Structures are given as structure tokens and as C-alpha cells.
Structure 1
């Protein structure tokens, strides 16, 4: 089917501003997660050093609150919004009488290119490449019924990861024996520790070339990750859940779905918090223990359920609060950040490696969790101010403009006219 001449970025009258604000809010949590787990180098320190950085009561409290309320929850929220955005674009394409497939494929290809540059030239923790690749799989579900979408979402979110995790533990023992499996796992851990140490040394270098070469090398070596199928499965499941929510119009028409959203907020926050507290208690119990009991493999199911419930609970509660005038003024501060989330996401990587890497301020491996969170909040506040300033003058964020221009094969109008409305996704 040929594309309509009107195919292109939509105008502000078609925006769902609550979704923009929610995306900006999610971006804050993603930035804190990336800063605590990646940018500050804690993930690449020897375990004893990493534990020492978070040994005080203050740092243990910050770590615990992070694990309970932020870690994986805001990434889940961000991923759900990707699937919901696909549903919105599909609905608008159908309204124009066009197919979403050609434009969306180009959109994903451009996103893949941006992600690859981000991963190998800036920061190996890039998620854009994964989103783009899984996005191609999402296209195959565009004509499925809502019930079918939910069934597949449940399979990808819970069944596939659980079966895969159990298989990783059981099959090697069955095939090679317990002793041989333990030796192989020990060798893998030692090899991984060596690669992490080499990467950390690269991050600590006062040469930007050395640092980024270490980033590219570690990123390339991490591609054949045995846990990657689980990651891809979970992301596709979240995409599908977002697709279902978008089709139902849960966050686009809050008033019509208010009773359901109230239930989702209550159950999501309630059940998610209870499960999160149980998981947190277990993690604190086995903090610093190198040999974990085998039964912990079964904790993947309740842990993933808790993460999903909290992510959904946050989304529902945010949407309900956004309908109240007073709260809309507060939460609306995130709206411009959500409109240019891709630009800010990439900017966060550049700012963070400048802050932490050895050629910058050299704070890698030295900041405790509390200070890392403070840095993240200050940098994000600056980004929010920047997004307000930028979108008062331009239709898109700079990377969003590039993304759209390459997708549609023509340069999009960038500057706002005297009476032009703000453009959006």
C-alpha cells in the first residue's frame, strides 16, 4: 500500500500530553538506574570494593530504596510506553488509510543506526539497538486480537525467562555433570572478572581515545551474552503489554478508564511493593555471599511479577494524578523532557562519561550511591530546563528531528513559526 502524502510527524492537537510527561518521568528513573549501575563504574568494581562504597547506613538505605522503587521499574515503564506508542502510530496510520509497516520499518532502521553509534562510540549500555530489533518482532503482532496479545505478553514476560533460567542451570549438569559444570562456570566468572577489570582500567584512563576504545571492545565482547534471549523476551513482552494498553486507550482516555486505572494503581503499587520488599529482604540476607542457594532461581517469577506490577502501578497512578489541575502543573514539568526523550537519553550518556571517566572529572568507582543519585538529579534538572528552552523555539529535539527527517526522507521543518504548534511523536 502506498503512503499517504500526509504521512509524517503529527501536530500538537494530536498529542497526549500525559504520555509525554510520563515518558519524561520514566526517563528520570532510567537515568538514575544507569548512573548507579553503569556510569559510576560500580558494576565493574571488584565485589568487595562495590560493597564498601555502600556500607554505611545512609548508602544502604539509598541502595535499598533504589532496588525497591526504581531499579527495573522505570525501564519497564519506558518499555511499556514504546509499545503504547506503536499502538498510537498504528491507529493513526489506519485512520489515514495507510499501512504502518513501511514507515515504521524505516523508523526502526534509523533508530538501530543511532543505537549502534551510541553503543560503540559513546556508551556500551545502549538500549536503542535492542528496542529497534525487538520492534521488528512487534510488527508481526499488529493484527492480533487483544486477547492474543495478552497471552503472548504473558508467555514472553514469565514463561520464557523462567524456562530459560532453569534450563541454564539444569541442562549443563545433566549433560556434563555437576563438577564439570562448576569448573566451567568458575572459568566463565574469572574470564568475566578479567574483562571487567580491563574495562574499568580503560574508563579510568586520562585518554578519551583509550576510554572509548575500551567501551567499544567491551560492548562488542558482550554481544554473545547467554542471558540476551531472556532480555529480548522480556522486552517483547513489555512491548506487547504496552500495545494492548494503547489499543484499549487506557492512558489516552483516562476518564473513560478511571475505574480500571484505579484498580491497576492500587493492585500494582500494593502487590509490587510487597513482592519488592520480600525480594529486598532476600537480597540483603545474601548480600556479599558468593555461593547462592539453588532455590533462588525460582525467585525470577515473583521478582518479575513485582517489577511489572510496580511499573504498571506507577503508570496508572501518574495518569490519574495528571487529571488533577494541581498535579498537572507539577507533573507537567516532565512534558518537554518526554517530547525529546531520545535527545536527552543520548545527552545523559555524554554528560555521564564526562563526569565519571578518567579523561573527565575522573569520578568512576569513587562515588557512593547517595552522591551518584544527587549528580543524576542535578543533571536531569538541567536537562528539563534545557528541554523547556529548546521546545519553546523548535518543533523537535535535535536527535528527534534527525530521526524523523531520515525516516521520511526529507528534512522536517525545525523552527517554530510565530503561531506554530509544537510537533510531537
Structure 2
């Protein structure tokens, strides 16, 4: 059998819907990540973690909690699974085994993730993606779309069920064994002061904190959260890609029904979630139930609704110029994700402008808007001159074992 060398996907053979949705997801991820960049982690999950918030601060939290929290990383995970499918299908069509290239890609992504987690930001997701990508690839070939979707749904359901049990019965666990959980959802003043000191002191202190956080949380992130939540979402994305859903190949009526049904379910659960949070005044148990169970489950349906909405946009001719810019952001998602980390750590940490714990949530949303507008300008400008984003080019060159063409002729 003759084989053809496997090469990266050129822009002419890409599915524009995948790039568009990925570009939107990059913005959505920053909406939530900036809370963790700008303050202690409890600030992300609990608007009252640092005391009674202002009205605009509380409203901003509810808006981002409802429309962004866990929705966009779920969407991004689905797209990651679709990307694995796309690579495997292209390789098979070329008569080349994609297995070696896939595992090289995951190895180098793992390396990038470790560097990012230790030297830039503790909230890295790349390590979890790389480790999860090692096993979800087993489903990429020779399994039906229905198998992928069913297994993915089961995995997500298992995690939601386990987290629900933990949130409901966590009060029965001795306090000393729950201290880390208390600090995550309802931190003490001593813990707040300790966390603030880390990111308002020296880079060396930050480095120690990131190494400790990474080594402590990696098993939970990669082996539990990655297995069930991220892995389940990747499998859903693989199945949706295989069915032509993510690539905007279905009818307009299909996407309208998908959007309406999934939004009704997802936002219905979130409405109940928000009611519980308000009714209990963000009690420890309710906040845990929200973050680990209700919102996590609802996010899957909202992400699916977003897919329906965005694919309807792909099939229309509305705002074509803006659409093109979002596609460029999506084609450079890796570079844009890391650049967000670099920009935000410079803004908030002591080795930069030192704005850590200084701004309200609505002010952080203004920063998100400025950063994303810059990426909407930068990404198409860059891709008009180069074939890939800088990190995409490096990742591809390492994965394929040779330097890829970079500059456009």
C-alpha cells in the first residue's frame, strides 16, 4: 500500500464552523478565567467569598455564572474531540496511520501545559486536555457516533452524580478533612490574606505556589475531572462531528430545535440553581452543589444550545466580516489562549501592574472586552502574513517532526 505523508490541515480544507465556534469559545473562556487571574479562586465560585459584594458586582457574577461559567470550556472540549476526529479521518483518507502523530501531539501539548501551569498560570487546562486526549483517541476510529455520545453522556452523568452526593453529604465529613474545600468556597480571612500575599509579593513566591497547586491538584484534574467531565465532553464532540452537527451540515430546522430544546433544559436548571443560591444566601453546601453539580450538568445543555445558535449563524450571511475575524481567532486558539494568560498575569501579578484583588467584576469584564477586541484585530492580521499562529506552528512542527511552512508567499 502506498502512503502519503500526513500534513497539517490547511485553511482551505478547514470547516469554518469549527473555527468560528472555537473563536467564540476563546472569548467565553476568558470571561471566567479572568476571575481566577484577578483574585483568589474562591472569588470565581462565590460572589460573597470576600464579603458582601456591590450590586453591580453581584449582577455581573450572576450573568457570567448563567451564560459563561463551565459552558465555554465544555464547548471547547467538544471542539477538541472534533479536532481529533478530523485529524484521524484525514490521515486515514491519505492512507497514513494517524496514531503516531496524535500521540506526539498530545506529548507536546502536555509539555506546553506543564510550562504554562508552572511558569505562567496555575489554572492551566492543557495538561488535562493532553492526558485526556491519550485515551479518548481510542474512540476516534471504528466506533459509531451513537457510541461516542452515549459513553460521553454516561461519563458526564457519573461525575455529576458523584459530585451531587459529595455536595449533599459533604457536611458529614470532619472539618479538618474539608479544609481545602472550605478555602475553595468560603475562605477564612487568614487564607485570603495568604493567597493575596503570594501574588502581590515576588515571582519566586508565585512559582512555589503554582508548583504546589499543580502537583497537588493534577491527580484530581487529570484522572477524575479529566476522565469524566472533559473526556465525556470530548466524546460528545466526536459524535457530533461524526453526525455533521458541529460542521454545520444539518438543516436550519435541526439547529433551531437543538437550540430551543437545549436552552430550555440548560437555562431551566440554571434558573433553579440561581434560586437556590439566592434563597440560601450562598451557603457552603449550596455553592458546592451549584459549582460541582447543577451548573456543571446544565453547562452541557447550554453548550449544545450554543452550537445550534452558532451553526445557524454559520449558515447565514449576517455580519460576515465579524464572522471572519472570529474564525481567525479560532484558528489561532492556542496562541490566543496562552497570550490571554501572559497579558492577564502581567496586569494582575506583582511582576507586572499589580492589580491583583483591586478591581470589581464589571471592571474585569471591560478588560476581557479590550483583550478580545485586540485578538479580533491581531488574529486576521497575523494570518494574512503567516499560515499558522506562532504556537500552532511550533506545535505542528514538533508533532510532525519537521519545520512546517510558516510565512505566506
Report if TM-score (shorter chain) is over 0.5.
yes
Match of 1:262 in 2: 256
Deviations along 1:129-184, one digit per CA (max 9) or x if unpaired, are: 000000011111122222221221111011244136526876x99xxxx5xx3243
Bigger Cα displacement from structure 2, 103-112 vs 379-388: 379-388
**Shift of the alpha carbon at 1:191?**
7.7
Work out whether 1:245 is the aligned partner of 2:240.
yes
> Kindly tell me: are residues 188 and 412 of structure 1, through their superposed partners in 2, closer, same or farther at Cα, counting changes over 3 Å?
closer
Choose the corresponding residue for 1:332, options 321, 324, 333. 324
Kept in 2, the 8 Å contact 1:199–1:218? The answer is no
Distance of 1:89 and 1:378 partners within structure 2: 33
Match of 1:31 in 2: 30
Work out whether 1:220 is the aligned partner of 2:220.
no
Work out whether 1:287 is the aligned partner of 2:281.
yes
Kept in 2, the 8 Å contact 1:44–1:200? The answer is no
Match of 1:203 in 2: 199
Distance of 1:312 and 1:98 partners within structure 2: 32
Is the partner of 2:135 in helix, strand or coil?
helix
Choose the corresponding residue for 2:406, options 407, 410, 414. 414
Distance of 1:212 and 1:14 partners within structure 2: 41
Choose the corresponding residue for 2:137, options 136, 139, 145. 139
**Shift of the alpha carbon at 1:49?**
9.1
Q: CA RMSD in A?
A: 2.9
Larger Rg: 1
**Shift of the alpha carbon at 1:59?**
1.5
Deviations along 1:215-236, one digit per CA (max 9) or x if unpaired, are: 2333333334489614431111
Distance of 1:395 and 1:57 partners within structure 2: 46
Bigger Cα displacement from structure 2, 369-378 vs 379-388: 379-388
Distance of 2:127 and 2:76 partners within structure 1: 15
> Kindly tell me: are residues 48 and 391 of structure 1, through their superposed partners in 2, closer, same or farther at Cα, counting changes over 3 Å?
closer
**Shift of the alpha carbon at 1:328?**
3.1
Distance of 1:46 and 1:412 partners within structure 2: 39
**Shift of the alpha carbon at 1:198?**
3.5
> Kindly tell me: are residues 187 and 317 of structure 1, through their superposed partners in 2, closer, same or farther at Cα, counting changes over 3 Å?
closer
Deviations along 1:339-384, one digit per CA (max 9) or x if unpaired, are: 1110111111111011011221111111111001111110121122
Is the partner of 1:324 in helix, strand or coil?
coil
Match of 1:8 in 2: 7
> Kindly tell me: are residues 29 and 406 of structure 1, through their superposed partners in 2, closer, same or farther at Cα, counting changes over 3 Å?
same
Distance of 2:281 and 2:167 partners within structure 1: 23
> Kindly tell me: are residues 299 and 339 of structure 1, through their superposed partners in 2, closer, same or farther at Cα, counting changes over 3 Å?
closer
Deviations along 1:287-346, one digit per CA (max 9) or x if unpaired, are: 3434x379x859966543321111011111111112211233333321111011101111
Match of 2:72 in 1: 74
**TM-score, length-normalised on structure 1?**
0.86
Match of 1:383 in 2: 375
Deviations along 1:164-219, one digit per CA (max 9) or x if unpaired, are: 6526876x99xxxx5xx3243355557875776544311111x3333333323333
Kept in 2, the 8 Å contact 1:354–1:361? The answer is yes
Number of residue pairs the alignment of both structures matches: 404
Distance of 1:48 and 1:29 partners within structure 2: 19
Distance of 1:299 and 1:39 partners within structure 2: 18
Kept in 2, the 8 Å contact 1:322–1:328? The answer is no
Match of 2:266 in 1: 272
Kept in 2, the 8 Å contact 1:162–1:300? The answer is no
> Kindly tell me: are residues 392 and 29 of structure 1, through their superposed partners in 2, closer, same or farther at Cα, counting changes over 3 Å?
same
Distance of 1:25 and 1:46 partners within structure 2: 21
Deviations along 1:55-76, one digit per CA (max 9) or x if unpaired, are: 2221211111111101111111
Work out whether 1:112 is the aligned partner of 2:110.
yes
Distance of 2:132 and 2:87 partners within structure 1: 17
Match of 2:391 in 1: 399
Choose the corresponding residue for 2:343, options 351, 366, 389. 351
Work out whether 1:374 is the aligned partner of 2:366.
yes
**TM-score, length-normalised on structure 2?**
0.90
**Shift of the alpha carbon at 1:10?**
2.1
Distance of 2:192 and 2:127 partners within structure 1: 22
> Kindly tell me: are residues 25 and 396 of structure 1, through their superposed partners in 2, closer, same or farther at Cα, counting changes over 3 Å?
same
Structure 2: any 5+ residue segments left out of the alignment?
none
Kept in 2, the 8 Å contact 1:58–1:370? The answer is yes
Distance of 1:382 and 1:137 partners within structure 2: 36
